[in-house]
Each structure stands twice: as C-alpha cells, then as structure tokens.
Chains A and B, each alone.
Chain A
Amino acid sequence: MNAKTENNVVCTFCGCLCDDISVDVDERENKIAGVRNACANGRAMLENYDAGPRLPRHNGEETSWDDAITRAAGIIKKAKSLLIYGFSSSASEAQRLAVALGDKLGATLDTTSSVCHGPSGLAMQAAGESTCTLGEVKNRADLLLFWGCNPVVSHGRHLSRYSLMPRGRYTVGGRAERRMIVVDVRRTQSARASDLFLRVEQGTDFEILHALRYILRGGKLRGPVGGVPEEALSSLAGELKSCRYGAAFMGMGLTMTEGRDMNARELFSLVTELNEYTRFCVIPMRGHGNVTGADQVFTWQTGFPFAVNLSRGYPRYGPGEYTAVDMLANREADAALILSSDPGAHFPKGAAEYLKKIPTIVLDPERSVSAESAAVWFPVAKYGVDCSGTAYRMDAIPVYARAFLRACRMSDEEVLTRVVAEAAS
C-alpha cells in the first residue's frame, strides 16, 4: 500500500467541523485507510466513503454524466415551479451556484433548516441572539447549559474539543473549572456527563424558560413548572446569574417540539437578559456540516436565511409556505432539485409521497431514498474528501475543507455549472 497521512483534515459531518482529523490515505487505491481524532459519526462517514468512479442514474439506470446533465437541464427548463432543497451537506461554492440558479428560474429555495433549526432563525429575528464562537467557550465558559440536545451522540467531540473539557485562556483547569447543566425530557448520555440534570415534562420548555425569566426579574413561583420544583428553578436561575461566562447550547428538543420558535425565542431572551448580570451566550447546535453556510449564502444572496420564493422575480420569505415540506404537501412544486439531503426519507408522509410523483434531480455522494426514486441522480464527489469547498461551523466561522483524495466524479459545483449552462442554451 502506498500510504500517506493527511493531517488537519476537516470533518464535514456535523456543525462542529472539527479540523484536526488525521487520515491515512491509500494513494494507489484512492481510499481512506485509517481515521484518527474523529468521533464515531465522523469516522463512519469517512471510512465508509467510496471515492471510486460511479455513473449517474436516470430513472434508476446508469447513464453517462453528459446524458444526465442534459436530462437534468431538460427537467429544469420544463419546470414551472421548481423546488431547490437541501444545501446543508454541500460546500458554499455549490450553494452559491444553486441559489443563483433558483434566482434565474424563479424557483423556491429551502434548506434542511426548515426541518431542523429554522425556528432558531425565527427566534433570532424576533429577539436577537447573544452568541460567541466555540473558541470563546473553550477560553471563557465556566457554565454550560445544554437544552434539548444530546451532543455526546449528535456532535461527538463537542464536549471534548470545544465546550466541557478543553483548557483555554481562563479555563486552565478544563473540566474541573466548568459546571455542566443538561435540561432534557430523558436522561440522555449527555445528561450522564453533566453536573446537574433537570428532567422536564415533555412540551413544557417554553413555560420553564419563561419561569426562569420571571425569577430573574425578581418573581416568585407558587409551584412547580413543567414538573420541576420551584426551588430547583430558583437555584438554576441563581447559578445562571452568578457564573463568569455562560454558554447555552440548544437543539431540536426546543425547535422541533410544540412551541418551536417560541421555545427558542424564550431561551434567546433569557440569555440576552442574563447579560444584565454576567456574560452569557447561546449557540444553536447546528446539525449538518454546512447548514450554517446555507443560512449565510441564502441571506447574502436573497436577504433571508431559508424558505425563499423567487417566482415573482424578487425574493420573498415565507416559512410555513415556501418551506419544502409545505411546498410538497400543498403540491405547489412540479419538479425538485435536491442537494445532498434526503427528504424522501425524512419528510412527513404526504410530502415524501408527492416528491416521488414529480421529476427530481438529486446531487448526493451517497445513495439515498431520494436518490433511489430520482429521475436523475448524480453521485457527486464529497466536499472535504474528494473535492474542496468552504463550510461554516455552527458558530458561523467558515472553514476551507480541502480534498485529500483524487476526484473520480464531478463535484456538485461542476454539475451545477454545467446544468446551468445547458439549461440556458
């Protein structure tokens, strides 16, 4: 085996975008021979990736890249209401092209945020957001509050590399200097790593957060809220106020349960108000590697972070209307271009079934439920492995993910460029 080691590789699995991964590369076979420093998620993503040549498929049958591009361009040209969805596992360079394409065609654009942290975006737009970078958590935070998220499973190195364990400028004691509080409806693995676990009743996050804001303003509770005794909440409020630098992290336990953006907004407001007493920040635990980049690209090109409709020639924002689930469930899209995501597997039944009925183009390195039923599937290269590109971490810091394997297939950037050119001709 002709081996070399690539250091400081960026893992694009989740919004942590850890950039200290070491990969042993079998250069002759163009394969990954070993992965170090990655979490289980990142390791599995990298080790299971096959960068070998593969052909696109048209209606399930292999076809040439040229033919697939012609067919994709044909679908796009014919569509009257194209939905472009996904974005979160593509590099920003490709995202920029896809949004430009959507602008040209008057399409509806949406990202996986709409079934994930979209409500965090709405909460930010309503209440603002006191936030910081992950390195600031490493350097300063002495109190960590994880609410409705389970980083041990979802963001495998969050605790060890960024939040709980690292020794930074004012946290030289590492773990010993930090207090970790987890709020969740069940004792998760992250809860087991915490100093304090607060089990709350399902669907009561808003009430509990509101109660904490009330206590912060000098209010006194007359009974438990969400199954948590008033003393426990008063004590928690006291801890939040008296830390040196607090960092809250929140996940889909807030954004995808009843109350959604209202829950997130309540947490953001609480964090903002804590700055009257100390310094406090919040970072949404963004999932896919570049979902934050999708927010950014959408915003600088259209003015809005997701759920954008361009059919009138200018951008309109409509979460609940232009979001992909709604566009499909309401049968308002007549074709779909899906970038590196799998709505066929993850969307509610009505939306997923309608998706099967309209011609879809899928750009995804991996075979997926959506790819299986696509009219055209491009098995594109994967950014950060066999093509390069920019991605934004959950704290909106951009990182350039360099390729370390030879590309045997087109990148999504290349496919989009050619589809656009062909559709225009």
Chain B
Amino acid sequence: MKSRVLGVTGGAVYDPKNGVDGETRDVWIRDGVVVAAGELTRGELEGAEVIDARGCWVMPGGVDIHAHVAGKANTGRKLCPADHRARTLSRAGGLRSGSGFTTPTTHMTAYLYAQMGYTTVVEAASSPLGARHAHEEFGDMPILDKAMLVLFGNNEFILDCLARKERETARHYVAWMLEATGGYGVKAVNPGGADDWKWGGNVHGLDDTLRAFDTTPREIIAFLAETADALGTPHPLHLHGLNLGLPESGATTIALMDAFEGHRGHLCHLQFLGYRKAEKGGGLASDAPALAEALKKHPNLSADIGQIIFGNATTMTADAPLEYRLHRLTNRKWCGTDMENEGSSGVVPIEYSRRSRDGAAQWITGMELFLLIDDPWRVCLSTDHPNAGPFFCYPQVIKLLTDRAYRSEMVASLNAAAVRESVLSGLSREYSLYEIAVVTRAAPAKILGLTKKGHLGAGADGDVAVYNPSRQGTRSCACSNRARCARLLDVAAWTVKGGEIVAKDGECAKETRGETFTLAPAYDASVEGRIRDFFADYYSLTYDNFPIRELRGKKVISCEN
C-alpha cells in the first residue's frame, strides 16, 4: 500500500522534549507517525502533502491531562438546558451540530479541542460502573485520542482490604478493575470522604478514621500510590485531596505530599486545594508560595492547576460532600449520585466573580501556582473543565502567563482586598512559548506516560498544531469575559491528528476516529473468586456482565516501562 506522507515545513518548532526551542525545522509524518526526513524515499517526498508553516509556530498536539468530558459530565449537560441554549454549533460540512457552553456535547467538545490544536484528552474521573458510559461517549467524540482515569479512593472492596490489612489482594483488584473498565490510570478523590458522605459525613484530616472502615485517608493514598507504582501504570496516582475549597486546604495538601511515601503522584487542580485563611475577613487566600516550596521538596509529585475562569462553570466531582456543601452555600440546584461500592459524585452549576473576595482569591491562587512553581515539567495547564471554567478558555490562561501587562490589567479588575493579600502583583515571570509548549504538551504527555504524545521526535504520533502568530486572539470568543479576554494559541492554522489535517484556520475540517488508551496490568487471577463474591454480595449487577469486552478502537499501553 502506498504510504501517506504529510510535511509541515519551515515553521518555528517548539518541541521541548527534544530540546527544540523555536528553531526552524520541518516535521514529516508518514502513515500517522513522525519520521526523520532522511527516512523518506524520493517518491514519498514528491507525493507528500505539504503545509507551508513559514512564519508559524509549530507544536505537538495539545494534551489535556484533566478534564470532565464524558460519562458523569452528561449529568451536568442534562441539568443545565440554559447552558446549552447559551452556545450552539450548527451542523456544517458533514460535521455534527452541538450545544453547550460549560458542558458542550461530545462532538462539539472534540471540534473545540481540535480548533485550538489539542489532540488528546483525559477524562479525569469515572466510577467503574460508569466506565461503559464514558466509553460510549468517547465513541461519539471523534478526532481526539482519549483515556479515562478510574476512581478508587472510596472503593469499598479496597477499604475492606485495607481494614483487614490485605493490601496485596487490593492491588490485584486494582489491576483487574483497570482492565475490566478500559481505564488508563488510578484516580482518587477525597479518599474516604465520599464513603463517609454515605452516612452524611466527610473526612477532614489525613488521619481521620472512616466511619465504616478501619482505615484513614493517609492509608488509602499510600496504598494507591504504591499500587500504581507496583503495577507500573504509565500514569501515577492522580489525586484530588482533602478539604477542597476550604481555607485549610493548602495545609492539608502540603501534609498529604508525605502520604505518597516517595511514590510517584499527580495532584490535580491544585488551585482548588491551595488556600489558607485570609488574614482579614476569614475567607480564602492563596497558599501558593507554601505549596510551591513543598512541591520542590517532593520531586516525585507533579500537578495541574485548575485555573479559574471568571463566569459560569459547572462543578462536577466525585467529592460528593463538597458538592452538597456548594449546594447549601450557593442554593443552586444539586445533583448527587451515590454509586454502590464505588463512591459518590455530584454536580452543581456555579459562577466565579472577579468582584467576589473568594472568587478573586481562587483566581489568584491558580496564577501564583503557575508562576511560583519553577519547574514547568511538573506543571500542566488545566481548568479542571468544567469545574473552574471551560477548556476552550485555555488560550486566555496562556495569554495571562505569557504577558505580564495583560495579567496586571486583569489583576486591577479584581476584588482589591483579595489582591492586597496576595504576592501576585510582584511576580514578573512571563512564560516563554517553549514553557507553554511544556505545560500544554510535553509535561502532560510525560506525566501521563504517553511516550508518543507531546513531542515531534521520530516515532511520535503525528499530532501537530500550527499557529499563525498574527491570527491569535483575533476571533471573537464565546466566553463571558469578552471585554477583558485576550488569548494566545486559540486558533490553530492547521491541526494535524495522526497525519491528517483535522482543522484549518480554526475550523474543524474533518472527523477522524480517535483511539482510546487502556491498560492490561498483570494480576493474580485467584483474586477473581473474591471479586465474584463481592459482586454477588454487594452489587446490583452480576460479575459476568461487568467487564467491558466490546471496546472499539482501543489501544493497550504497556505497563512494563
């Protein structure tokens, strides 16, 4: 068969993994895979489709390490018809229509990512029972490569095992479950908190004993971090910690860094877990300086930020007691779902206001974390979509990070009391494009263990984003910050996925099928009998009907590296 070759030539390439910082290079993709030009035959070069990228920035396709786009996200979609009336997409050019501002429909989600040069997204949390649903939505989310993290932090099989000191059984269970659900990584959300919520409670300290199990959040974190390492999952334990949104969250987060006991770990949407008590008034203030210091001492850990975007958001999380608290706090409508044996979750729509003291403090915390954590390889850009804001506002965050003047303009519009208590105004750091390429591509791919993503070296997947500098920030934006919204990397002149052009001039051009990354970690099959009994006792679904055997388009990533 004739091979299909695409060249992206003459652009300024930002490929941090390979140390390329804006140098003019050509990128060649043969049959979806990046190859060195020298490997192509003369015939292949002559028959190649070529993108003239002169004057443009060329980066690997963006990688989103943490977003809620499939499965539980659908409750958020259904709950808020007004959100879907607020933004619609008309069908055109063989592509699908869609709707939704903070919670776009699946096809629209894919198009919006592709338009800004993103090609990979990780669904940050699915319960095991909800995994099949998430995969169904992946099937209607074209173009993008996808992966899904599986919730284990409130799993009662594991809590049973920890209470009985049967960690090995629990480890085999995690491996079995990752394969059965088509999951890609181990996720924990407020470990122990959702289980206590089933009794109306929550956990607040790492050493709180759970109401129903003789174990603690600290022990759950240590077990899951160790398990991810022992199983060799490409991505380490992905943790949403305790006390999210509370003034004591920063101190709790610093304390829980030690609970990893030296194992690898990723702290998601650190902003939401990075507050201290404000000196005046008792609300939230940023604890980012202390967190950045603590991260320095824990080189085993990485983080994504979860930057606040002012305006409407839809919170959705497996931190079920948090969602109930948000409902009581804001009086907004609340959806809660208790999942048998696996945890609980909730959805509450909210709004972040720059004039609110707490809202401004949250925004400041995210910015400070970005600017104070020195090593960009341990930071990923996220908005915990749609919790802190929609993913299509990443370009605004990029502009804020790269342009101090714009940042100052934003800071000047914030609640003054919040600004007075922060160090943000004194931070002069500006991210370079190279550093932006790190936090939006290279670092998330590395932290996810996706060795073929986030770079443009030979053997990488042929996912490329090409940006014309003069077009950035020129399109009208859907966000509710119109007057103050400036953006960078919002319009890809070309987005290439697997060697095919899927978006052009910021418009989706074509649907391709993405892949779903899954794992098959090794486990002792004797655990299956125990799991079978657990299903018979405590589940409403039979053991035989639980594993997902019909997954289309999956690609198993090895756990052996």
Interface residues of A (CB under 8 A from B): 7-8, 10, 19-20, 92, 96, 100, 103-104, 121, 124-140, 161-162, 168-169, 245, 272, 275, 278-279, 281, 295-296, 299-305, 310, 312-315, 317, 388, 390, 392, 396-400
Contacts and interface: CB of A to CB of B under 8 A. Distances in A.
B88 A315 contact: yes
Nearest to B200: A279
A272 B199 CA distance: 15
A360 B399 CA distance: 54
A313 B197 CA distance: 43
Interface string B76-94: 0111110111001111100
B164 interface: no
7 contacts: A128-B333, A133-B338, A133-B339, A135-B341, A301-B140, A303-B105, A397-B541
A400 B545 contact: yes
Given A136-B340, A272-B334, A295 B97 contact: no
Contacts of A275: 200, 324, 336
Interface string B324-342: 1001000001111111110
Interface string B195-225: 0011110000000000000000000000000
B132 A302 contact: no
Given A8-B544, A169-B156, A400-B545, A128 B98 contact: no
B326 to A, nearest CB: 11
A216 B427 CA distance: 52
A125 B80 contact: yes
B163 interface: no
Q: Which of A103, A136, A305, A390 lies at the interface centre, i.e. has the most chain B CB atoms within 10 A of its CB? A: A136
Given A169-B156, A303-B84, A128 B335 contact: yes
Nearest to A281: B338
A299 B106 CA distance: 9
A299 B538 contact: no
A221 to B, nearest CB: 26
Contacts of A135: 340-341, 538-541
Contacts of A103: 91, 96-97
Contacts of A245: 198
Nearest to B72: A396
Given A314-B91, A399-B541, A301 B106 contact: yes
Interface residues of chain A: helix, strand, loop or mixed (majority)? mixed
A124 B78 contact: yes
Given A125-B78, A272-B327, A281-B338, 14 more contacts: A8-B545, A19-B541, A125-B79, A129-B336, A130-B334, A132-B338, A139-B340, A275-B200, A300-B140, A301-B140, A303-B98, A303-B105, A398-B130, A400-B548
Contact of B96 (A7, A100, A168, A317): A100
B85 A317 contact: yes
A397 B72 CA distance: 11
Contacts of B528: none
A96 B96 CA distance: 12
Contacts of A315: 84, 88, 97-99, 105
Contacts of B84: 303-304, 315, 317
Contacts of B340: 132-136, 138-139
Nearest to B544: A8
Interface in B184-201: 197-200
B279 interface: no
B107 interface: yes
B74 interface: yes
B105 A301 contact: yes
Q: Which 6 A-B pairs have the closest CB atoms?
A: A135-B340, A303-B84, A135-B540, A128-B333, A303-B99, A132-B338
Contacts of B98: 301-303, 314-315
Interface in B52-90: 70, 74, 77-81, 83-85, 88-90
B51 interface: no
A304 B548 CA distance: 27
A396 B335 CA distance: 13
A275 B346 CA distance: 13
A300 B137 contact: yes
B184 to A, nearest CB: 19
B195 to A, nearest CB: 11
Contacts of B81: 125, 303-304, 317
A276 B336 CA distance: 14
A398 B132 contact: yes
Contacts of B105: 299-303, 315
Contacts of B336: 129-131, 275, 281
Nearest to B156: A169
B335 A96 contact: no
Given A278-B200, A313-B97, A396 B133 contact: yes
B560 interface: no
A302 B137 CA distance: 12
Interface residues of B, number: 62
B78 A299 contact: yes
Contact of B542 (A19, A124, A140): A19
B293 interface: no
B77 A299 contact: yes
Contacts of A304: 78, 81, 84, 99
B100 interface: yes
Contacts of B549: 400
Interface string B518-549: 00000000000000000001111110110011
A399 B545 contact: yes
Contacts of B334: 128, 130, 272
Contacts of A133: 129, 337-340, 540
Contacts of A20: 542
A303 B324 contact: no
B46 interface: no
B136 interface: yes
Nearest to B548: A400
A295 B78 CA distance: 9
Contacts of B338: 131-133, 136, 140, 279, 281
Interface string B99-116: 110011111000000000
Contact of A140 (B96, B198, B327, B335): B198
A399 B156 CA distance: 21
A8 B97 CA distance: 39
B139 interface: yes
A390 B132 contact: yes
A137 B105 CA distance: 31
Q: Which of A103, A295, A300, A302 lies at the interface centre, i.e. has the most chain B CB atoms within 10 A of its CB? A: A300
A279 B197 CA distance: 8
A74 B317 CA distance: 47
Contacts of B137: 300
A392 B89 CA distance: 27
Contacts of A279: 197-200, 338
A96 B138 CA distance: 12
B542 A301 contact: no
A305 B77 CA distance: 9
Contacts of B107: 301
Given A124-B79, A133-B129, A303-B105, A390 B545 contact: no
Nearest to A269: B333
B337 A126 contact: no
B314 to A, nearest CB: 12
Interface string B134-151: 001101100000000000
B88 A314 contact: yes
A299 B333 CA distance: 18
A314 B139 contact: no
A22 to B, nearest CB: 11
Nearest to B101: A303
A356 B98 CA distance: 32
Nearest to A134: B540
Contacts of B541: 19, 135, 397, 399
Contact of B99 (A130, A140, A281, A302): A302
A141 to B, nearest CB: 10
